[in-house]
Amino acid sequence: MPIQPAAKTRVDQIISARWIIPVRPRTVLHHHALAIAQGRIVAIGPRDEILDNYSAAESTTLDQHVLMPGFVNAHTHAAMTLMRGLADDLPLLTWLNEHIWPVEGRFVSPEFVRTGTELAIAEMLRGGTTTFNDMYFFPEAAALSAQDMGMRAHIGHVIMDFPTAYAANADACLQAAADLLPRLRKLPLIRQSLAPHAPYTVADAGLRGTRELAEAEQLPIHMHVHETAHEVEEALALHGQRPLARLAALGLLNPRFLAVHMTQLDADDLRICRDSGLHIAHCPESNLKLGSGIAPIVRIRQQGIGLAIGTDGAASNNDLDMLGEMRTAALLAKGISNDPTAFPAWEALEAATLDGAEAIGWGDLTGSLEIGKAADCIAISLDHPATFPVYDPVSQVVYCAGRDQVTHVWVEGKIRICQGLAMDWDASVLFSRAQNWVKRIRERDQNP
């Protein structure tokens, strides 16, 4: 009697590619495939082995592509996409005090946040970002936008002392966060953090309240810190200590703290970072554009401090392009250290994916292609004049590829971008809604 072939395991889909970069382990797999079921990766192996052992209703073959984890944008203000290009070529405090904060005071609302965040999500998904870590007003609107458009988001509840359109003071911000936390926990693509804006906008009482709520709810903290030399100088004058030392004394620093920017670090600051186990979100293009300084990422890495990459908001970057941000980070590190081996391609790729996921507490689910993790993955075509020929696909992704080469994006196994086209939204509708806000903002500038 002939031996019957073993039945194949049924999965939802199989994705095969010329190259797979799982990020962890640090290797390149040639002619391999992923098997995906219920949004999770259930097998990774040579293409023929996967096809011999699994059957799927849906299969995607990517003969000239890299398949890799989606990018994790570790710091955004997504809704500020509506202010892209509004006030350029200005120092940070001038930019904030004379342009951004007045516009926010007049226009920011749940509707504003919803429109701006949806526009940002469209840009990020199209460029291969599958997770973003946000900090802005009306966080429920941002969370609902991400959930509806199928993007993973870590939503920060902003805390500030001075009155805004969102809340009257830090106490009101903390109360709003406490009230909203249970509702957002019901959204499967959303996790949350507390986001005190900066040491210079939140007094000790608000920071203590942040620490207490974070401890009670087991939440990470996401905060701008040491963004400019002026911030550090002002802190020394007002508090007699540098901002990081103040935050450490208040008990905020731990492995669940994400410090954004960190352009001004001395040896004591680096020691505090190392000893506390905090992570840093490096936003090189925003820092360069605002003239804020350059984070010393070579020294940060030498100290073993976790380093992620973020774009910041489109009002100061002016894009949300993680491929571009990753390349800038790698090249900037080499340039300022006079060392071409500083921050090599693999380390830059890790900072833009797995290290970013770990920095926001999501390394268990995303940031690498591993069995059991979510199928948050992207395909980048290397069959393109900008990336051909291919000797090392990791180098091509980091140093050559543009976001126009991102052809497919999956979040939790669901296709969001296919052959460069959005599956879940109409760009013309997003543009029309955004243009209505642009008209109102322009009228404000002409009639302040």
Residues 202-259: pLDDT tens digits?
999 999 999 999 999 999 999 999 999 999 999 999 999 999 999 999 999 999 999 9
Question: How does DSSP assign 323-389, residue by residue?
Answer: HHHHHHHHHHHHHHHT-TTSS-HHHHHHHTTHHHHHHTT-TTTSSS--TTSB--EEEEE--SGGG-S
> From CA 231, how far away is CA 416, in angstroms rounded?
40
Q: Which residues are registered as beta bridge partners of 421?
A: 418
Give the whole-number percent of the chain exceeding pLDDT 90. 92
Evaluate if residue 445 carries a pLDDT over 70: no
Residue 413 · residue 40 · CB < 8 Å: yes
- Residue from 256, 252, 255, 261 nearest 280 by CA: 261
pLDDT digits (tens, 9 = 90+) for 393-423: 999 999 999 999 999 999 999 999 999 999 9
- pLDDT the model gives residue 92: 81
> From CA 278, how far away is CA 272, in angstroms rounded?
9
pLDDT digits (tens, 9 = 90+) for 73-82: 999 999 999 9
Domain limits of the chain?
Answer: 9-69+367-412, 71-359
> From CA 353, how far away is CA 362, in angstroms rounded?
11
Tokens at 192, concatenated: 């949350």
> From CA 312, how far away is CA 263, in angstroms rounded?
14
The CATH label, of 2.120.10.30, 2.30.40.10, 3.90.1150.10, 2.40.30.10, for the domain at 9-69+367-412 is 2.30.40.10
Residue 34 · residue 15 · CB < 8 Å: yes
> From CA 431, how far away is CA 236, in angstroms rounded?
45
> From CA 7, how far away is CA 11, in angstroms rounded?
12
List of residues 6+ apart from 73 with CB closer than 8 A: 124, 129, 131, 132, 133, 309, 310, 311, 320, 322, 356
pLDDT digits (tens, 9 = 90+) for 282-315: 999 999 999 999 999 999 999 999 999 999 999 9
Quickly tell me which residue has 């009670």 as its tokens.
Answer: 216
Contacts for 209-216: CB closer than 8 Å, 24+ residues apart = 209/159, 209/170, 209/171, 209/174, 210/159, 210/174, 210/252, 211/250, 211/251, 211/252, 213/174, 213/177, 213/178, 214/252, 214/256
> Which amino acid type is present at position 4?
Q
In sequence order, which ranges of 20-109 are alpha helices (DSSP H)?
A: 47-53, 92-95, 101-107
List of residues 6+ apart from 210 with CB closer than 8 A: 159, 174, 194, 196, 202, 221, 252
Helix (H) or strand (E) holding 69: strand 54-69
pLDDT digits (tens, 9 = 90+) for 124-136: 999 999 999 999 9
3-state secondary structure of 404: helix
Evaluate if residue 4 carries a pLDDT over 70: no
- This prediction's pTM: 0.96
* Size of the chain, expressed as the number of residues it contains: 448
Q: Calculate the alpha carbon distances from 385 to 300, 330, 401 in Å.
A: 35, 22, 10
Strands (E), 160-263: 190-196, 221-225, 257-261
> From CA 396, how far away is CA 375, in angstroms rounded?
23
The larger pLDDT score, comparing residue 237 to residue 95, is at 237
Exposure string (b/e) for 104-135, b if CB count within 10 Å is 16 or more? beebbebebbbbbbbbbbbbbbbbbbbbbbbb
Please classify residue 55 by burial: count the beta carbons closer than 10 Å to its beta carbon, then call 0-12 exposed, 13-18 middle and 19+ buried. Answer: middle
Evaluate if residue 1 carries a pLDDT over 50: no
Mean pLDDT of the chain: 96
189 CB neighbour count, 10 Å cutoff:
18
The CATH label, of 3.40.50.460, 3.20.20.140, 3.40.309.10, 3.30.930.10, for the domain at 71-359 is 3.20.20.140
Strand pairing report for 71-76 and 54-69: unpaired
Task: Categorize the per-residue pLDDT at 187 as very low, low, confident or very high, splitting at 50, 70 and 90.
Answer: very high
pLDDT digits (tens, 9 = 90+) for 23-62: 999 999 999 999 999 999 999 999 999 999 999 989 999 9
> From CA 23, how far away is CA 346, in angstroms rounded?
8
